Structure formats: C-alpha cells, structure tokens
Structure 1
C-alpha cells in the first residue's frame, strides 16, 4: 500500500512536467505573432495590387506650392520636395517594389532549380562545374556583384532586376542540389525507377515535388533580403531613378531634406521595414511548419 501510494504520489508530481515545457500561453503568443505576420504580408500584397487604385492623389503630380508639407488631413503622410503626396507614392511604390522582388526571386529560383537538379543528377563532372561556378558567385556578397552589374548595364530598375537575377541564383542551386541528392535515393524513387518510369517524369513527378518544400520556405525568407537589396541599389543611384515611386528611390530623393522633411524618409522606410519583417516572420512560420523537429521544440 505504501509503495503504491508513493508511486501514485510520484506520478502525480511528475505528470505535469511536460505541460511546463509547452505552456499554452507561449504557443498562443507565437500564434498571434505568426498570424499578424501573415495578415501584414497579405495586406502588403493587396496594397501592391490595389494601391494605385486607392491612392488619393496622382503619385507623380508636381505641385511646388505644396512642397514639404508636414502630415495633415489633406496629405496623411505629408508631401515631398516636389509637392507630391507621399501616401500615394508609398501605395504606388508597393507594386513597384514587390513586383521587382517577385521577378528576381522567380527567375533566380528557376535558374537555381534547373542547375541544382542538373548538378545532383548529371554526374560528377557536371556537378563539379556547376558547384564551382556557385562557389564563385557565393564568394562575394550579392549586393556587391549586383552593384557592379547594374552600373555596367546603366542606372535603372530594370538593370537592378537583371543584375540580381544573375547574382541571386547560386544559393538556390546549391540548396536544390542538396535536396535532390537526399531524395533521389529514397525507396519510392527507386521503386518508380524499377517500374520503368522515364527519367523526365521521375524528376518532375517524384523527385522535385518532394525536394522543394524547403525551397518554398527559402523564397519566402528571401523576399525581405531581395527587397532590401533593390532598395539599396536605388538609394546609391544604380536602381530605380527619380521620379519613380520605388521605396528606395523615394528615400534617396528625400535624403537631402531629412531635417526639414523627415516624413518623406520615414514612411517609405517604414514600408520597407514592415514588409521585410512580416515576410521574415512568415518564412519562419513556414520553416517550422515543414520541420517536425522544430514543431516539437515549440
């Protein structure tokens, strides 16, 4: 009786321990943060699509009589040195910035996926050639390579996008190579190969779909990085040029008047920061969702 009683007491004391490691309020806090990130990211995408339609003013209309007006009821975000409404320009610039970012990520992902798959399945010589090219591309920061290429192509948003497309793919190629090599020897792939499934169908239907979950997470995380690089290129003068409403170009144009018109720098800067943080949090959430070990750790 005593031993059983002591066992019950020990069980009762030890029982709540797992609940202490996974407190509901911790999960709730993380869930609120993740949901907020999804809402903000979705809102930014919505603004990018519908921003020009709901902008209260023409983002390119110059009115020198309204230059550097502080935020007010008629101009919620104030006006810039040319009297243009900053709110309208921020709304319009969401589409410009996000579209450029999506193009860079889509093209870089496509190139990286093709070359990474070829490296994983094409034999040792092909693998060595592609990986050495990736090593060269990854040895320097992408922004440095993009800066040189964009300057060579001529200032402009198109040049910045092309430069980033040409410099951003090595990371995706190396990631895809690793993922495909992990999947290609799986039992279900070997079974499909034994059944005589053609190589192209084997790659498209069996290998890539099961290897690219991690790639989706990486592309989401890269939204903020690519946007910051595009804005940086515009700020130093090789990206979008005035009077473009691209957020980095807006900050560059307003930098000379920051003491007398801080709002012209603040609001496009906040747009960049909020978008970057929201997509980073969304990428972290997707990473946790796709990694069972991380889900258990939380």
Structure 2
C-alpha cells in the first residue's frame, strides 16, 4: 500500500454541534439585548389587571404575569438589563485583576507578596457572600449589585494574570526585546500583555454565565434589581408566589437565565479547547 493511500484524509475543523448551538443561543441573547424594543410585541411595563396570569396563547406566547404584563416582552427587555450588567461586572473586574496581577508579576518580591496575600483573602471567601454584604450596605438596586460584584470578582483574574505574565516575561523573544533596549512600557504593553491575555479572554467568556447567575440571585433575594424591573432574577422574585398556579411567569425568565448561562459556559469551554493545544490533542 502506498504512503499516499495509507495517509488519513484531512478533515475540516468544525464547530461541534453542541457548542454550535450554544454559540447560536449566545448570539440570540446578544440580539435580544440590542433589539429587544423592536422585537417585543407589548410594553413590558404596561399593567393590565384584566389580563392577569393568562396562560401561553397565540396572543401572549409566554403568557402574562400577575399584573397582566406580557412575559415574552419582559424576557426580551430583560436581556437588555441582565446582559449589560453582567458585561460591566466582567469588564470592571477584569481591569482590576489585570492591574493587580501585572503589578504583582512585575513589581518585585515585596509587591508580589502583598498583592497576592490580598488576592488570597478575596479568593478564600465566596464572591456571592461578599457581594451580598456590599450590595446590602450600598442599598438595594442593580447598580449596587454591579458595583459590589465588580469589587469581589477580580481576585481570580488577578491570580491568572500574574501567572500568565510571569510565564511570558521570561520568554526568549521578551529577553531579546529587552536586550535591544525596548522601553519598559512598550515591553509590557506591546510584548508581554498581548501574549499573556489569550487565556484571560477565554476565562471571561466562561465567567459570563456565573456572573449572570449571581446578579440574578442578588435580585431574587432583594438586594439587586428591584420589582418591577424586567431583570430576569427580579422577574422570578416578583412571581415566585404564583409558581403553582401560573408557572409560566416564573419558568420562562428562569429558562432564559439557564440557557444563557449554559450557552456562554459551553462557548467558553470550546474557546479553551481551541486555544490550548494540549487539551485539543487529548480530545482527539
């Protein structure tokens, strides 16, 4: 048998089916957040007690809540509340973690020890407990939840960035740039950080689902978004007493939250496999 005949046929790299569905769901949620007002058939805050707790029908696809508001419209608008709040937390905590992690990796032994001990304290306590205390101190509201979570979610990013920067700063091409006299600032922002952050953006994608669940959880227990907000956690909290006789008012915002968190988790896992040759090799 010739070597040509024995060679395995080349296969095109494709997105796995499950991850493809997850990517589509994540894209749909982003579309809902951008175009919610155009897609919603009713005003999500219009109260009509004569239509209270109507089951799903051709007129109201996902039914109505206890105040006669269309559940589908509120779920669509909810994406405009829940997703942006989540992204603000991710962006803010990433910036804090990036700053602290970089300073720890490049600032010398004393700076590293001090910053990492502070980071370890943050990692030793559940983020949701710290966020709950801070949000309660700041007062109920979505802004309080976002600020509180941003101030408690950064330690994981700081630890990750420190590890990545320490690995990259000892690479041969960085040493070569240093020998050539590249200024320290240019060395950090043009050579070290860009090559250290390939893993960080994967982690932030995975964390979207976790942060979203925590934000909705804070809204559910009353320290995040307040009723009658269309934030998904607040929607569930507002209709929790009607679960037995109007399940749709609770189930559909809960399902939107579940599917969105799961979709971003799967997309993040897929990105991790794509960017880590070791994991990709083991998966074959």
TM category (shorter chain) comes to: over 0.9
Match of 1:253 in 2: 238
Alignment of 1:280 with 2:255, yes or no, is no
Alignment of 1:227 with 2:212, yes or no, is yes
Match of 2:98 in 1: 113
**Matched ranges for 1:1-298 at <5 A:** 31-298=16-283
Distance in 2 of aligned mates of 1:199 and 1:101 = 34
Q: Which runs of 5+ in 1 are unaligned?
A: 1-7
Give the 3-state SS of the residue equivalent to 1:203 in structure 2: helix
Distance in 2 of aligned mates of 1:246 and 1:40 = 18
* Matched pairs, number: 279
Deviation of residue 222 (structure 1)? Answer: 0.1
Distance in 2 of aligned mates of 1:78 and 1:235 = 21
Deviation of residue 90 (structure 1)? Answer: 0.2
Distance in 2 of aligned mates of 1:107 and 1:277 = 22
- Runs (4 or more) in structure 1 with deviation over 4 Å come to none
Distance in 2 of aligned mates of 1:125 and 1:82 = 59
Give the 3-state SS of the residue equivalent to 1:243 in structure 2: coil
Q: What is the TM-score with the length of structure 1 in the denominator?
A: 0.90
Deviation of residue 183 (structure 1)? Answer: 0.5
Distance in 2 of aligned mates of 1:235 and 1:253 = 8
Distance in 2 of aligned mates of 1:218 and 1:108 = 12
Bigger radius of gyration, 1 or 2? Answer: 1
Match of 1:4 in 2: none
